[in-house]
């Protein structure tokens, strides 16, 4: 069915995470000394439900900044603004800074090193000193605990944090055109001017239109609509006509 294309992406979300975890552990086996493998894998398991953190770990083990072959032993979030977080990734002998969003992770340099002004501006820092003010010594960095125990809520369906965009296909995402449920409403057909959405190219084009219109990020008051418990589109159409 037409509608299953977008929701199909979310159905396999946990399988995607499992695949990502396997991939990271494979990279770990190549990247770190034998003696550090167990600790490195334990950290991956600890964040097994955090897609952003897993993307961050994957990026680290694939690229190994400074060619240091070391396990990650701690992950810390320094600050977050408009869906982009500044993370510190502590390894056995050093620490790195990463910018992390739902789209992925980018290595910025060593922790406590200098950052470009335009990078600092991402989090509203006017200069290096403002960033330094929130930077504690590497040994005092605290573990990232995520949305459940942390300060922010996570989307119950796709796991993004408050203020972030849902993964496309998430049942909780609100449609910016009709304010209904984006994975169920008919706006994508109207916007794309097609009768069916059944390929990647259409999904990408829809994402562009959606982004241009302005996606609605996750807020804690948004709750998932469960298919079958609400009236459903067809019935609502009948009511209106
Ligand atoms: Zn979501
Ligand atoms: Zn809509």
Domain spans of the chain, in order of start: 4-144, 153-233
Q: How far is ligand 2, taken at its centre, from the CA of residue 58, in Å?
A: 35
In b/e form, how buried is each residue of 59-76, taking b as 16+ CB within 10 angstroms? bbbeebbeeeebbbbbbb
Give tens-digit pLDDT for 163-219.
888 888 888 899 999 999 998 899 999 999 999 888 889 988 999 999 999 999 988
Q: What is the pTM of this model?
A: 0.63
Number of helices (H), then strands (E), belonging to the chain: the values are 10, 4
| Beta-bridge partner residues of 89 | 75, 96
Locate all alpha helices (DSSP H) within 64-175, ordered by sequence: 117-121, 128-132, 146-149
H helix or E strand, kind and range, residue 88: strand 84-91
98: helix, strand or coil: strand
Where residue 52 falls among pLDDT bands split at 50, 70, 90?
Answer: confident
Percent of the chain surpassing pLDDT 90:
56
Spell out which residues have Cβ within 5 A of ligand 1, the ion. Answer: 155, 157-158, 166, 170, 172
Q: Which ligand is nearest to the CA of 206?
A: 2
How close is the Cα of 240 to the center of ligand 1, in Å? 28
Mean per-residue pLDDT over the chain, rounded: 84
* Neighbouring residues of 81: CB distance < 8 A, sequence distance ≥ 6: 122, 123, 124
């Amino acid at each position: 069915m037409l509608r299953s294309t977008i929701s199909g992406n979310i159905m396999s979300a946990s399988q995607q995470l499992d695949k990502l975890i396997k991939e990271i552990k494979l990279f770990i086996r190549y990247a770190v000394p034998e003696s550090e493998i167990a600790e490195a894998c334990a950290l991956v398991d600890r964040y097994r439900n955090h897609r952003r953190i897993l993307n961050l770990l994957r990026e680290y083990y694939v690229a190994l900044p400074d060619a240091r072959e070391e396990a990650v032993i701690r992950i810390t979030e320094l600050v977050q603004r408009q869906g982009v977080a500044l993370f510190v990734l502590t390894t056995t002998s050093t620490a790195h800074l990463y910018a992390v969003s739902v789209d992925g992770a980018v290595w910025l340099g060593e922790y406590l090193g200098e950052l470009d002004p335009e990078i600092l501006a991402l989090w509203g820092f006017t200069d290096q000193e403002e960033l330094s003010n929130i930077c504690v010594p590497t040994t005092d960095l605290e573990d990232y605990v995520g949305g459940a125990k942390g300060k922010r809520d996570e989307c119950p369906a796709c796991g993004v944090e408050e203020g972030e965009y849902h993964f496309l296909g998430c049942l909780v995402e609100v449609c910016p055109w009709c304010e209904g449920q984006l994975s169920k409403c008919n706006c994508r057909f109207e916007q794309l001017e097609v009768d069916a959405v059944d390929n990647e190219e259409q999904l990408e084009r829809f994402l562009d239109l959606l982004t241009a219109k302005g996606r609605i990020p996750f807020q804690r008051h948004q709750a998932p609509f469960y298919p079958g418990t609400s009236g459903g589109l067809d019935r609502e159409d009948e009511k209106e006509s």
